[in-house]
Amino acid sequence: MGTKRISLTIAEVCQKYGINYTSINPDYSQLINDAKRLGEIMIDLRIIAGDLEAIAERHDIDGLKDIIRQEAFDIDKIDHELVKIATKIKENHD
C-alpha cells in the first residue's frame, strides 16, 4: 500500500471518529472524495433519467415523450462523461 493510500485511510478513519488530522497528501484525499462524489452523481442521474422516462410514459401529451426521452438521453451522455472523468482522476493519482 502506497503512502498516499495509507494517508487517505488514516484521514478517513480520523474523520469518522472526529479526530483532527491533517494528511501529508491533502490533494489526494480531495481527489478521492471528488471521484466518490462523481459516482454518487452518476447514480442520481440514472435515477432521474428513469423517472423522466416513466413520467413520459404516463402522460400522453403531444411531444412530451420525445422531449423527455431526449433529456434522458442527454443525462445518459453526461453519465458516460462523468465515468471518464472519475476514471482519469483515479488513474492520475493512484
pLDDT tens digits, residue range 5-44? 676 677 778 888 888 877 666 666 677 777 778 778 878 8
Query: Could you identify the residue written with the cell 433529456?
Result: 71
Q: Give me the mean pLDDT over the 40-69 stretch.
A: 79
CA distances from 48 to 56, 85, 86, 87 (A): 12, 20, 20, 22
Polymer length of the chain = 94
The conformation of residue 87, written as its DSSP 8-state character, comes to H
pLDDT at residue number 75: 76
Q: Give me the mean pLDDT over the 41-53 stretch.
A: 81
pLDDT at residue number 1: 45
pTM of the model: 0.52
**Where are the extended beta strands (E) located within the chain?**
none
Q: Which residue has the higher pLDDT, 3 or 88?
A: 88
Average per-residue pLDDT for the chain? 75
- CB–CB of 4/25 below 8 Å? yes
Q: Which amino acid is at 80?
A: H
Q: What percent of the chain has pLDDT over 90?
A: 0
Query: Distance from CA of residue 24 to its chain's centroid?
Result: 25
